[in-house]
Amino acid sequence: MKKNRSYLVTKQLLVKNLVQETGLTNLEIEKALQELSDYGLIKISNQGMAIKVVG
Closest listed residue to residue 36, CA positions, set 13, 10, 54: 54
pLDDT of residue 38 exceeding 60: yes
pLDDT tens for residues 23-37? 999 999 999 999 998
Number of domains in the chain: 1
State the residue range of the domain holding 14: 5-51
What are the backbone dihedrals phi and psi of residue 27, each rounded to the nearest 5 degrees, phi first? -65, -40
Residue 2 confidence (pLDDT):
58
